[in-house]
Amino acid sequence: MYAARNLTPGFILRFAAKPVFVFAAYATFVTCLYELAGLRFLALPFVPISLLGTAVAFYVGFKNNSSYERLWEARKLWGAFVNDSRTFTVQLLDYLQPSGQLDAEALKEHQRILVYRHIAYINCLRIQLRQRKVWEEKHDPFAAIVTEKTPFVNQNLLKEIKQFLHDDEAEWLYNKSNTATHILRKQSSHLRHLHESGCVETFKQVELGRLIQAFYDHQGACERIKGYPFPRQYAFFSEVFVWLLAGVLPFGLVGELSKLGEVYVWMTIPMSVLISWVFLVMEVVGDRSENPFENSVNDVPMTAICRNIEIDLREMLGEKDIPGRIYPVRNIIM
């Protein structure tokens, strides 16, 4: 996530430089053909192009809106992880009780294991979601910025979860096809054992089971956003339309400007660049926001969220030696 109010000039330059150059070169080429090579039939009326532009603006607006909804849904899901992690911990601490088989001290250790396994779960899911899918393999200025500027890297999954789990358990889980799914499975069976030991009443076991269900729901929704891109038939044509529009714009502008006089024709170049660039940026902003788990600058800041959850939960356990919050590095927080 970009965490400053305004984008820096460098950021915009990187973003804008290449298409501006392409549009300028193209418009210059068209204008030269018209003006220098004298191909006067290249001039087109602008009103039909205006109709085309309006239709394209509709379509790009629709894509922008849908992409934003995907991003916002992803952010809400990680917000839900924060909320439900707090609730889960509070319930683990207040719904379990010592029994004949398990004294207060032993129960406390079980509670610690359960909370640590939950922290492992959250981090495991984060790493799983940050793996690349095929439809993301494309030169992307937003991703390039992250790679260059920030020290966040996809940590090794096994190493990460070993921080919070017993080594054997971590390795057993690591070998499952979807590790996060099986961590939750483990939480559930741990609670069954505590139920069998008399430490949790049926009703409270089921209440905790509903939180596990909620975690499966949030996880599945994240996996859906990750695994099901904005439908390609919609996304692809949006880009095609913008490039087609940019392709005919100089012809229409040459036509419109030549009406005003010879000298105006060269204004085709800045106007063409300006309008094409606005449409392209609209398209690109939507396009780069549609996948919020791709190590790009528009990502949901999962690393920071995971750390915040860890801090809250370990404070609830009464621990002292707790790592600090994660702050933005050069305005980017992951």
The smaller minimum CB distance to its own copies, of residues 144 and 274, is found at 274
Binding positions for its own copies, 3-42, rule CB under 8 A:
3-7, 12, 40-41
The smaller minimum CB distance to its own copies, of residues 95 and 155, is found at 95
Q: Helices 202-227 and 104-129: crossing angle, nearest 10°?
A: 10
* Nearest distance in Å: CB 318, its own copies: 11
Binding positions for its own copies, 196-225, rule CB under 8 A:
196, 201-204, 206-207, 209, 212-213, 216-217, 219-221, 223-224
154 binds its own copies (CB under 8 A): no
DSSP codes of every residue in 49-89:
HHHHHHHHHHHHHHHHHHHHHHHHHHHHHHHHHHHHHHHHH
CA distances from 50 to 60, 238, 316 (A): 15, 17, 61
Return d(Cα 170, Cα 159) in angstroms, integer. Answer: 9
Amino acid at 328: P
Number of chain positions touching its own copies (CB under 8 A):
125
Residues in the chain: 334
Q: Which of 31, 123, 289, 295 binds its own copies (CB under 8 A)?
A: 289
Task: Report yes or no: 194 and 173 within 8 Å, Cβ to Cβ.
Answer: no
* Nearest distance in Å: CB 162, its own copies: 21
Binding positions for its own copies, 223-282, rule CB under 8 A:
223-224, 228, 231-234, 236-237, 240-241, 244, 248-249, 252-253, 255-257, 259-261, 263-264, 267, 271, 274-275, 278-279, 281-282
Q: Which of 55, 103, 154, 171 binds its own copies (CB under 8 A)?
A: 55
Binding positions for its own copies, 80-99, rule CB under 8 A:
80, 82-84, 86-87, 90-91, 93-95, 97
CA distances from 258 to 34, 264, 272 (A): 10, 6, 14
The tokens for 88 are: 């889960």
The smaller minimum CB distance to its own copies, of residues 162 and 264, is found at 264
Amino acid at 306: C
Give 74: exposed, middle or buried? Use CB within 10 Å, 0-12, 13-18, 19+: buried
Binding positions for its own copies, 113-132, rule CB under 8 A:
none
Binding positions for its own copies, 300-329, rule CB under 8 A:
301, 311-312, 315-316, 325
* DSSP count for the chain of H helices, then E strands: 11, 0
| Backbone dihedral angles phi then psi of residue 302, each to the nearest 5 degrees | -65, -35
Binding positions for its own copies, 161-200, rule CB under 8 A:
176-178, 181-182, 184-185, 188-189, 191-192, 196
